[in-house]
Structure 1
Amino acid sequence: MPSGLRFTLDVDGLSPDTFTVVSFHYTGSYSSLFRLDVGVSSAYFTTLSYEKAIEKDAILKIWQGDTLLRHVRGFVASFSRHEYDGQRASYQMEIRPPFWRSIYRQNFRSFQNQDIETILTTLLAENGVTEYSLLLGNKHPVREFCVQYGESDYAFLLRLLSEEGISFFEAFADDGESQWLIFSDDAAYLPPPIEIPFNPNITTGSADEYVSQISHTVQIRPSSVVSKDYTFKRPGWQGKFREDGANLDWQRSQYEIFDYPGRFKDEQHGRDFTRYQMDGFRSNAEIALCESNSPRLWAGQRLTLTEHPLDSLNTTWQVVASELYGEQPQARPGQRGQGTVMNNRFRLIPADITWRPAPLPKPKVDGPQSATVTGPEGEEIFCDEYGRVRVKFAWDRYNKLNQDSSCWVRVSQGMGRNRVW
């Protein structure tokens, strides 16, 4: 980038001149929580206590002169004090998005007759995540019974989102302030592409944006997924679905994944879950690793590459991950260095592919569960049409001891000579 490149950091409740940015490192990708590490210096050594920074909102801004190129907003999750040279002290911050707080909330909980959108919005609200958007074009049917079993809120949602074929990423507006979390199940919702030419001879003082390196890779991944499940309500139901992968030109079609139980009880979930698994397994079958001087390329953006000598690469891609580095060593007293520099390393996949997370395992339950048989007040026997009884698990803190407690369970009864029917 040309001269005039500079970085600033503002922390809520502190004056704008409190910190001078020395370096930063941003990492972000689909279906992960971004991390922004910022090295700063400050003259407020004697008055800058930890509680003035930790848990406070912070925003890094990247400027070209007076033009704002990019910002990243989050909160300070870690704050470290380092050396003091008699004039200024060095500090290191780790900045995270609000959704990161869900890592530190663990629960045992059941959700009854709710779809993924309802479960997601409930847990986002409980974790204080208010700036988000749901861009869901596919059907996501109601789940009769869904359990968070000893998982953090984040791990639980990550598992459900992977089952439902939904990815998430941070979106950054051009106003230098607005930023929100996007949940999406279709690449059609991605913004229009940014056109950037390829130029391997870019210089540090270049005034234009270029892609300076690109490495294109294709790799073997599973070629098909077969899922099967069973439900006692429809014992004759086949419950079997198959999805074949696309773009198998460079590999064999023998790499089949068979999944049982498939965690579905109806056709809609069966078809969709199988397709989502296939997409997740093949999300990185074709990738391109790139470098650029542009800070505008992050997960969820689209890029149209031009002027590459290999015409097949001059097409539209989507960014699935990025690492943005920046240094201005002259911010330290007595340091000159090479001036302010910035570099963006990012990973691409074809623009028309809907990136989905790979499936994640469900937690395992060790041994039998303790529960209390429940029902409406005043009724001694309470069963449904299948002879099931309603129970409330010992770990269930949310449901009451009534007809709406944890869930229905099938019943077996002990007979003489250890027989069971």
Structure 2
Amino acid sequence: MFNPLQSRTLAISGDALPTWAGGPVLTPTRLSGTEKLGKLYEYTMEVVTVESETFRVWQAKELVSAEVLIGRELAISIEYDGKGTFMPGQQGNTGLPNIGAGTREITGIISQVECTGADDRHVYYQLVVRPWLWLATRNRENRIFQNQSVVEITESILKEKNYPFRYELRLGAPGFRGIYPKRDYIRQCWESDYEFLSRLWREWGLYFFMDGSTLVLCDSPGSHKRHGPAYESISYHAPEGKRIDEEHINKLTLSRELTAGILTLSDYDYTRSRGNLGVSVDDASGMTFANAEHYGWGDYSQPLASTMGLSGDPNNLQREGECLARVRLDAERCRSLRARGKGNLRGLATGLTFHLENHPIKQANAEYLVVSTTIDIRNVDETSCAAGAAAQYLCETEFVLQPANTFFKNRLKKKSRCASETAIVVGPGNQPMWVDGYARVKVQFIWDRLGKHDQNSSIWLRVSSPWQGNGFGTIYLPRIGQEITVSYHDDDSDKPYVSDRMVNQFSQPPWMLPGNQALSGTRTQEIDGAMSNSFVADDTTGKPQVQVTSDYAQSRLVLGYNTRIAGNAGRKEARGVGIELATDAEAVVRAGRGMLITTEARSGATAPVKDMGETVQHLTQAREQHEDMAKLAQQHKAQQDGANQNDATKALKEQNDAIRGYAKTDEKPFPQIARPDMVFASAAGFAFTAAQSTHLASLQDQAITTGRDVSISSGRSFVAAVKGAVSIFAYKLGMRLIAAQGKLQMQAQSDAMELAALKDVTITSTSGKVIINAAKEIWIGAGGSYIKINAEGIENGTPGHIFEKTSFWGKPDAASMRMPLPTMPQGNMKTTNLYPQSR
């Protein structure tokens, strides 16, 4: 490094500065620039090549290379004399000259080199010098910071290899006392590192200045040190025309400004959706109308979206919100009292404090923080002066001050608006889905080159739903690997949510297109499997249908023009029209208050859904027929008390009344089917078939009514077992009981048997005998004549004559012949096996 020794005010040094014959090639002539708290400075250093009889201009041009200088460090030294004039005989330091004399160092990098001209003796250049932090403006980055505070984010960026400079943290503001809270998610959104950090620092009340090559981060008045002895106190001297050798302030104006005095913020946290998250800070000054309020949207809620998710601890909304509101209010209030001045102050530095003295306004003599400085310093330049001209020197410093005990803050920078972006749903490698209790998912943005495509790639993101209520709504959870669209609340890059799902080559539509463009609906897919469920509306012209299907057991409900929809292939062959409800597994149809299944049409669905006038009419006619025939059977003694159809007809009437329904009321506008009956009605007929058995069971009565015939055909036997009586009544055409093969056997096993006819009774055996056998007696009679046969003998009796016509009449000895009598079986009914007669 070449470090020239010279007596001029300005000096420069740096590894990249060219040398010739052991000496410098460039000499500083003028330094100008502005430096402000929280902003990057820019200084312009004007330099000129040295003059020598052996060093030519063309040599200087070859030695000064912009490519070599740009990006290299340059140290600028500004020499100042200190204060004090020698006065002999004074005690202590009083009367000592040049107290605090030294140099102010500005160390930055050369960002621009420009050759501004040349003559026969010199080449003139301008070097633009910016702080090391300026390097952070050169990049553009897009990345996510999770579960980090503003300080941690700052350190992680500044420790990167692109920023080889030191930084110092002087943090201790009352709100956080240097310990700033972590944020679940902060995104650097297509910004340079400087734009991102500057925006973040302003939001949290941090700002910076450069101390040489060191970046100093501050957040409170206590972060600022005082100038050294030369500038710890600076005198004000009004310009009166007399010479004052000591550096001083020659112009100073104090200004008051009316600012906001109240700052109110509001925010929203969907994990505390009904909470009042508003905060307000009131620090109005005593000036009139100083209580104006700024109302804004805060960003201090943290909806438990980080690694711990819903099991994490919520942040302190009140404290953090008030601190952020205080930052915004301080950014307004710090401008309420400012001082602007001018003086020949070579060593006055932004970010340091000094005490003002000798100002005619007593209240102005106080401690101030230097908020900004603009300097213009020109070196004594004998070589560049025109012949005969006097050496010129100039130092002008303009500055802005604020009271040193006042918090300085920069106003917020607006975030750039963030449009919708593409991302992929991610999670652990062994999971098909990864969601939490709020149906949130993790995503990997397409632009994210740092994420690992796992559950750590983002925070939990909410998924937009077309309908959401408390325990009800619509939900379609994104699955790992699906492409989604991420949008942003208020276009804020720190507030992402999943707004849509998109088609790509790995996430194709549920039905192949464009061939199935008439299909609309939803098709899901089994987790870790290939089976699917679908809800689809088919709007094919003239053949509309709706299907609800599940691949499990080939279960489906089809309404309309039934066209098979085969998975992703879509529409296939037509299968019919109407309704199909089918499954390869079990099916259950259950209705707690009754059910009507009917083929009685209701065109246009204009009638009430339970309208069944025809059905009620048919049931009423059937019940009336039942009653009439039952009464007729009782009149003919075919039915007796306790063994008749009275109970059945009464039950039919009650059932019909319930099916018809009772009076219509506001509470029951559709009174049909007043109890849980099942009603089957057909406009034509019923056909039931079973591959095995059919069983009809009733707890009470079972009635069958037909307008014409009851026809029963059995492939094997017709068997009936009745606990009580069996009564069969034929009103007109008689009754036939015929066995084409086998016996016809009738028994009354515990009582008598009666056979009666209005006309003849004929007993015939066409190829055998007629045997009349009785254990006690046989009595045959007609018109008063009789034959009585018993064990004692045979008795004939008649009121008239007895005629015997025979070819032979014999009277052998006494004889006896007994025919076997059938054994009458006995059995006891177990009442526990009876089907109950009532509930």
Answer yes or no: is 1:48 the counterpart of 2:69. no
Answer yes or no: is 1:17 the counterpart of 2:30. no
Find the counterpart in structure 2 of residue 272 from structure 1.
Answer: 323
Distance 1:334 1:381 in 2: 79
Find the counterpart in structure 2 of residue 339 from structure 1.
Answer: 392
* Structure 1 gaps, min length 5: 173-178
Distance 1:355 1:338 in 2: 41
Answer yes or no: is 1:396 the counterpart of 2:448. yes
- What does the per-residue CA deviation read over 1:173-211, in whole Å, with 9 as the maximum and x for residues that have no partner? xxxxxx411101111121136111111248796432211
Distance 1:205 1:328 in 2: 20
Find the counterpart in structure 2 of residue 61 from structure 1.
Answer: 77
Answer yes or no: is 1:117 the counterpart of 2:151. yes
Aligned residue among 219, 225, 249 for 1:211: 249
Distance 1:292 1:302 in 2: 16
Answer yes or no: is 1:94 the counterpart of 2:128. yes
Distance 2:76 2:238 in 1: 29
Aligned residue among 57, 79, 86 for 2:113: 79
Distance 1:239 1:58 in 2: 50
Structure 2 SS opposite 1:28: strand
- Cα 1:123/1:279, change in 2 over 3 Å: same
Structure 2 SS opposite 1:160: helix
After TM superposition, the structure 1 = structure 2 runs for residues 174-189 of structure 1, keeping only pairs within 5 Å, are 179-189=213-223
Find the counterpart in structure 1 of residue 497 from structure 2.
Answer: none
Answer yes or no: is 1:135 the counterpart of 2:170. yes
Find the counterpart in structure 2 of residue 175 from structure 1.
Answer: none
Aligned residue among 180, 187, 194 for 1:154: 194
- What does the per-residue CA deviation read over 1:292-342, in whole Å, with 9 as the maximum and x for residues that have no partner? 222222221111111111101111111100011101262543434552221
Deviates more, 1:148-157 or 1:48-57: 48-57
Please identify the structure whose Cα radius of gyration is greater.
2
Distance 1:332 1:250 in 2: 57
Distance 1:420 1:324 in 2: 65
User: Does structure 2 conserve the Cα–Cα contact (< 8 Å) formed by 1:45 and 1:88?
Assistant: no
After TM superposition, the structure 1 = structure 2 runs for residues 196-207 of structure 1, keeping only pairs within 5 Å, are 196-201=234-239, 206-207=244-245
Q: Which amino acid aligns with 2:219?
A: D
Q: TM-score, with normalisation over the residues of structure 1?
A: 0.91
Distance 1:271 1:406 in 2: 28
- What does the per-residue CA deviation read over 1:62-94, in whole Å, with 9 as the maximum and x for residues that have no partner? 225896331211111000012211111000110
User: Does structure 1 conserve the Cα–Cα contact (< 8 Å) formed by 2:267 and 2:299?
Assistant: yes
- Cα 1:337/1:286, change in 2 over 3 Å: farther
Structure 1 SS opposite 2:238: coil
Aligned residue among 259, 272, 275 for 2:296: 259
Distance 1:148 1:25 in 2: 34
- Cα 1:98/1:71, change in 2 over 3 Å: same
- What does the per-residue CA deviation read over 1:365-409, in whole Å, with 9 as the maximum and x for residues that have no partner? 12x321111111111121223221111111211111111012211
Answer yes or no: is 1:378 the counterpart of 2:415. no
User: Does structure 2 conserve the Cα–Cα contact (< 8 Å) formed by 1:99 and 1:129?
Assistant: no
User: In the TM superposition, what is the alpha-carbon distance from 1:11 to its structure 2 partner?
Assistant: 3.1
Find the counterpart in structure 1 of residue 313 from structure 2.
Answer: none
User: Does structure 1 conserve the Cα–Cα contact (< 8 Å) formed by 2:261 and 2:282?
Assistant: yes
User: In the TM superposition, what is the alpha-carbon distance from 1:243 to its structure 2 partner?
Assistant: 1.1
Deviates more, 1:70-79 or 1:335-344: 335-344
Distance 2:290 2:256 in 1: 15
Q: Which amino acid aligns with 2:290?
A: S
Structure 2 SS opposite 1:408: coil
RMSD over aligned CA atoms reads 2.2
User: Does structure 1 conserve the Cα–Cα contact (< 8 Å) formed by 2:210 and 2:216?
Assistant: yes
User: Does structure 2 conserve the Cα–Cα contact (< 8 Å) formed by 1:5 and 1:340?
Assistant: no
Find the counterpart in structure 1 of residue 567 from structure 2.
Answer: none
More strand by share: 1
- Cα 1:55/1:216, change in 2 over 3 Å: same
Distance 2:269 2:46 in 1: 56
User: Does structure 1 conserve the Cα–Cα contact (< 8 Å) formed by 2:259 and 2:290?
Assistant: no
Q: Which amino acid aligns with 1:383?
A: V
Structure 1 SS opposite 2:133: helix
Structure 1 SS opposite 2:270: coil
User: In the TM superposition, what is the alpha-carbon distance from 1:360 to its structure 2 partner?
Assistant: 1.4
Distance 1:331 1:268 in 2: 62
Answer yes or no: is 1:314 the counterpart of 2:348. no
User: Does structure 2 conserve the Cα–Cα contact (< 8 Å) formed by 1:34 and 1:96?
Assistant: yes
User: In the TM superposition, what is the alpha-carbon distance from 1:283 to its structure 2 partner?
Assistant: 2.0
Answer yes or no: is 1:281 the counterpart of 2:281. no
Structure 1 SS opposite 2:460: strand
- Cα 1:331/1:71, change in 2 over 3 Å: farther
- Cα 1:50/1:192, change in 2 over 3 Å: closer
Q: Which amino acid aligns with 2:226?
A: P
Q: TM-score, with normalisation over the residues of structure 2?
A: 0.47
- What does the per-residue CA deviation read over 1:265-315, in whole Å, with 9 as the maximum and x for residues that have no partner? 423321111110100122211100011222222221111111111101111
Distance 1:64 1:313 in 2: 25
User: Does structure 1 conserve the Cα–Cα contact (< 8 Å) formed by 2:149 and 2:183?
Assistant: yes
User: Does structure 1 conserve the Cα–Cα contact (< 8 Å) formed by 2:428 and 2:455?
Assistant: yes
User: Does structure 2 conserve the Cα–Cα contact (< 8 Å) formed by 1:294 and 1:344?
Assistant: yes
Q: Percent identity?
A: 24
Distance 1:109 1:33 in 2: 23
User: Does structure 1 conserve the Cα–Cα contact (< 8 Å) formed by 2:385 and 2:391?
Assistant: no
* Structure 2 gaps, min length 5: 1-6, 51-59, 82-97, 303-316, 468-472, 476-839
